[in-house]
Amino acid sequence: QRMTFYCKPCTKLVCRDCTVAEHRPGPKHDPQEVSKVAQKYKEELQTLAAKTKAAADNMKKTDDTISKVLRSITTNCELQKKKIQEHFAQLREQLDKEERELIDKLAKMENTQKEPLLKEKELLEETFKSAESGLQFYADILAKGDDAEIQASRKLLELRLNHSRHKRDVP
């Protein structure tokens, strides 16, 4: 038999005969024509479908908004990263410049401090060579010379040795 009724409490399709026997209208059964019930369910389903479509449209808009915000965050972060890199490149450049300036200053200070000492060292070396030469000369006179030559050279020897000693003591 064709099922032309729907028993709401049982949620079953039933035939006409069942509406008289098993699913007779009462507190436990409420058979209604399928066409009437179907129309009501169809309207409920259409309303539910419309709500679902509206919710889906809202979700799509939200997804689009989130995508835009994500792109914006990425763009802003890349921009900030570039600014940070440029800033630190400038800092490194400034540090390199200051390093070069300080190294140049240090080199000048070193030269300023060394210059008088180098001149003094050069003078000292010349004096030392002269003193050595004089000492060798007088050692030779003392070793090979006679008494008259030693006596004649004595005054000259004293002057030269005193002169060498004074040169060495003067800073």
pLDDT tens-place string over residues 64-114: 999 999 999 999 999 999 999 999 999 999 999 999 999 999 999 999 999
Sign of CA dihedral 81, 83, 89, 91: negative
User: Measuring CA to CA, which residue among 121, 123, 135, 133 is closest to residue 167?
Assistant: 123
pLDDT tens-place string over residues 119-148: 999 999 988 888 888 788 778 877 886 777
The residues that bridge with 6 in the sheet, in sequence order, are 13, 32
CA distance 157 to 148: 14
- What is the reported pLDDT for 171? 47
Q: In which order are the strands placed within the sheet that holds 3-7?
A: 12-15, 3-7, 31-33
CB 134 within 8 A of CB 160: yes
Confidence at 3, pLDDT banded by 50, 70, 90: confident
Residue entry with tokens 């002269």:
130
Q: DSSP 3-state assignment of 24? A: coil
What residue type is 99 in one-letter code? E
Share above pLDDT 90 across residues of the chain, in percent, rounded to a whole number: 51
- What is the reported pLDDT for 170? 47
Burial of 31 (0-12, 13-18, 19+ CB in 10 A): buried
What tokens were used for 151?
């006596």
pTM: 0.48
Mean pLDDT of 40-49: 92
